[in-house]
Structure formats: C-alpha cells, structure tokens
Structure 1
C-alpha cells in the first residue's frame, strides 16, 4: 500500500463525512432546519438509531470464533487508563467543570463504527470483520459507560447508586448489552427484523452528522479553539502513538497492531455530540472537536499507517 493509496483511501472515508457536516451547517444557515427539528432529530438518534446500530454490530459478531482476548484486553485497559489520565489532567486546560466531561469524551472517543471499521476492512480485507466487530463492541461499551460517567460527573456529583442506575438506563448501553446477549445465543436475526432494524441504523450517520453541522457555530469555535485543539491533539496523535508504541513493546504485530492503530486513530465519533447535546449545555464544543479531528485525521491516519508499514510493523 503506497502513500498515495493511503491518502486516496482516507479521503474516500472521511470526505463524505465532512460533506454531511457542511450540508447540515448550510441547511441551518439558510433556515431550512429549525432548532426544534435539530433537537428532535438528535433525540431520535440518541434513543433509537444509534442504539440499533450498536445492537446490530454486536449481535452479528461471533464471540467464540473471533475472540482475541490479548488485543481486546489490551485495548480495553489502555482505553480506561487514558480516560482516567485525561480526567485527572483536564483541570490544567479548563477550570469550567461543566465542560470537563465534554473535553474528555472528545479526546478519547473514536468513530470506530464508521471510519475505524471502514479503514480496517480496506487495509486488511473482509476476513478481519468479525475480530474488528468484537473489538468495536467491547470498546464501544467502555466508551459509552465512560462517557456517561464523565459527562454526568462534569455537571453534578451523583451518588454511586444513582450513577449505576442511570448507566444502565442509557439507550446506548442497552443496545450493546442486548447485542452481546443475542450474539451469545448464536441465532440469526429474522429477516424482517434484520431489514427493519438495519433501516433504522442506517439513519444514524446522516442524521447525526447533519445535526452536528447544523449546531456548529464558528464564533463558538473561536472561543473554544484552545480546548478543541488540545482535545484533537490527544485524539489524533497522543493516544494512537502511545497505544501503538506500548503494544509494539508487548509483542503485537501485523493485523492486530494495524487494527489497534486504525481504531485508536479514528476521529472523534459523532455519538459524542449526541450524548453531549443530550446531557450537557456544551454540544457545540463536542461538534467542534468532531469537525477538527475529522478534518485533520486525513493527515494523521495516512501518515501513521504509512510509517507503520514502512517500519514493517503491520
């Protein structure tokens, strides 16, 4: 795979997302989308579309056949450790507690289900889809659990019992857990249910990204540029470099290391905006981190993959 191949692939996976964002922003600027519509569409994605997408990705994976405990275990431990470190150091960048959780989520939460998975398949072929889907399912569970914790902790101090209760009432958590349970049974989804749920899941990306673009305020981007650039630096550079470097020292090579890099290096997920908008008053900060990381991931992912292949690590 040449540098040109990597560049063309990155453009083919991220440029459509940038176009969706631009389309949403243009629709809002020309008054073709109302604030009420954006609010309701965001709730639809958070409550139904995204949970359905997570359920399908998880339910269709074979845990027994595709399980690689070393890779998934390492990714889980590294993800949890990075979230804890980010939470502890965030006061260095902002004293506003209400923005703390949005910053942390934007710095760790990657768009694995859309961009990450697409890059993995392009780099290593469809035979890695089961492993990548299991990776996606387990790390998504961590992403969502952690997101609820950091977003709520940034707003109020909750009792442990209330926090646990809210965690497992979250639609995203319910979607992943139901998917895991279905996967364990080994049953195929009935044809009617599969096609109906897939139609709902297919709404996730366009609707979420239109809402992100419509919510983007460039004046706010100027006001938040310090936090946005720091969060983007962690998401696109610091976290992928540390994850891959430590994994290499632990003996990971070839496809496992490549999957780890492409998942960790994916830009911030649109789901971070959905949750930030639903749970905090700082949805625009989440939207700005998504836009910046999506744009700059064109460069960082291409260069990172090219370096790994040049070194013979993947």
Structure 2
C-alpha cells in the first residue's frame, strides 16, 4: 500500500501547486496552454523515448498483454456505444471519451505502484507499451483527422499518427529497446532533463485548469461522467481479471494486470484533449474523479487477489 499512497500523494501535491499558483495569479489561463503544449511537443516525446528504451519488449509478448488489451477494448467500446446513442457524441468527442474510459495512468502512477506494491516495475510494461504503441497513436491519428480539410482514410490516419511527436518518441524508444543501442551521454543528459519536465508540466497544467476552468461537472452530463469513471475503475479491471484468469495466468500476473487496469485516467489524456480542443472538461473531471475512485478500486484488488 505504500506505493499507492506515495504515487497518489505525489500527483495530488503537484496538482495542488498548479491550482494554488493559478489562485494567486502566478499562472493564468495562457500558462495552462503553454504548459500543455510544452508537455505534448517537448517533454512527453523525450519521456516516452527514455521510458520505452528501458522496457523489456519481451514482457509485452505475453498473456498479460492479451488480458490488458481486452480490458481496454471493452471499456472503450462500451463508452462509444453509450455515448453514440444516449448523448449523441460524434467523431473526436468519441475519441476523447474512449481515452478517458480506458487509458490508464501507467507512467507516473503505474511505475511506482508496480515497483512498490507488485515488487517489479516490469509488470506495468504490457499496459504502458500497448497504450504508447497502439492506443495513443491511433487516437492521435483520429483526432488529427477530425481537423477541417484532413483526410480520414486509413493511410492518412496512420501517417499522421506516425508523424506525431509523441508517437515518434515512442518508436525511437522501441528501436533502442530492441537494438540495445543507447544515446551518447552528451545527448542523453539533456534529453533526460527535458523528459523530466513532462509529468510536472502535465500536472501543473491540470491544476491550473481545475482552478480557472468551469466548475466540476459544469459542462458535461453527470451521467456521462459517472459512466466514464465506472468504466475506468470498475469495468476495465473486472474484464482484465476475467480474461487473465481464463487464460490461466499465474496469480502474480493476474494481480499485476488487474491492478494496472484499475489505475485512474492518465493526465496526458487531459493534455491531448486540451491540445485538440476536444472536451477538455470531460478529461479534467474524469482524471480527478477516477484518481479518487481508483484508490478504493486498487485497494480492493490487492485485498482480494494479493
């Protein structure tokens, strides 16, 4: 439980700094946009490159990956069906909602929780790389395609996804992981320094948005936000647990993939939503509420399966 407390307290503290800075007038709405763009175009590509480079790609080729993918797919599809027919969402709005429902905070929460609670940070690798190499590039390609004058063909979507700075950083990291090649120290040092700003920039931007943005729940139907949070912290881990058990995975792996799937919505979903101007309030509310709700969800998973 120490890892859970450490991860959540760290995230909450940095968000609080952003909110306090906005309250005191140190940071304004323009600072939120600058921080979000900095995280998206500069910090995140460097962070993802270094993170994926250090991951063992062999960990991804496992039954845990199948179970993790099942949870992501079920949560995203259920949201799309509900949002399409109940709230009449379309296009990019569906993409952001699906990300809110299924994209977990595998980085700044998943890594410490995997290390401290599960005993091995490698347990988060299937979730991390599935999101970075499949879910995120696909979502970014679709969001780019939603812009006026952009083609929505499969080739165009893939081309935009592969040219996105976050995807490029991820692919470079994967290449480094597969080949074992590493950046020269004179290059790695500044890249690492830039990578270190990604998560703080995301969290500070989120804190500013909490203080200066519309009140919680002010722009989205409460029922929709509730459904998204429930899909994220209840439905997704249940589906992953069922899939992992059905695949006959060992107890430690079942616990690991279920805990990882119960993590809250990642802050970079808010950064992405802000970057494309598509439902940032839904992303903001989901990140906040799922972070609170996931503490109980993760504690329940550990108590039942640990």
Q: TM-score, normalised by structure 1?
A: 0.86
CA distance in 1, matches of 2:76, 2:164: 20
Give 1:1-314 correspondences, 5 Å limit: 6=1, 8-64=2-58, 66=59, 68-97=61-90, 99-125=93-119, 128-130=120-122, 132-133=124-125, 135-149=127-141, 151=143, 158-216=152-210, 217-224=213-220, 225-309=222-306
Compare 254-263 and 173-182 and name the one that shifted more.
254-263
Count of aligned pairs: 300
CA distance in 2, matches of 1:199, 1:172: 17
Q: Is the 8 A contact 1:62 1:186 kept in 2?
A: no
Distance 1:238 1:78, change over 3 A: closer
Match of 1:312 in 2: none
Distance 1:78 1:290, change over 3 A: closer
CA distance in 1, matches of 2:305, 2:244: 13
* Per-residue deviation, 1:261: 1.2
Compare 77-86 and 20-29 and name the one that shifted more.
77-86
Q: Per the alignment, in what secondary structure is the counterpart of residue 222 of structure 1? A: coil
Gaps of 5+ in 2: none
* Per-residue deviation, 1:67: 5.3
Q: Per the alignment, in what secondary structure is the counterpart of residue 26 of structure 2? A: coil
Distance 1:227 1:151, change over 3 A: farther
Q: Which structure shows the bigger proportion of residues in helix conformation?
A: 1
Q: Is the 8 A contact 1:110 1:268 kept in 2?
A: yes
Distance 1:131 1:9, change over 3 A: closer
* Per-residue deviation, 1:42: 0.9
CA distance in 1, matches of 2:262, 2:12: 17
C-alpha distance after superposition, 1:6-40 (max 9, x if no partner) = 2x442221122122222212222332112222212
Q: Is the 8 A contact 2:101 2:229 kept in 1?
A: yes
Distance 1:153 1:165, change over 3 A: closer
Distance 1:52 1:306, change over 3 A: same
CA distance in 2, matches of 1:95, 1:289: 19
Q: TM-score, normalised by structure 2?
A: 0.88
CA distance in 1, matches of 2:132, 2:24: 35
Gaps of 5+ in 1: 1-5, 310-314
RMSD of aligned Cα (Å): 2.3
Q: Per the alignment, in what secondary structure is the counterpart of residue 109 of structure 2? A: helix
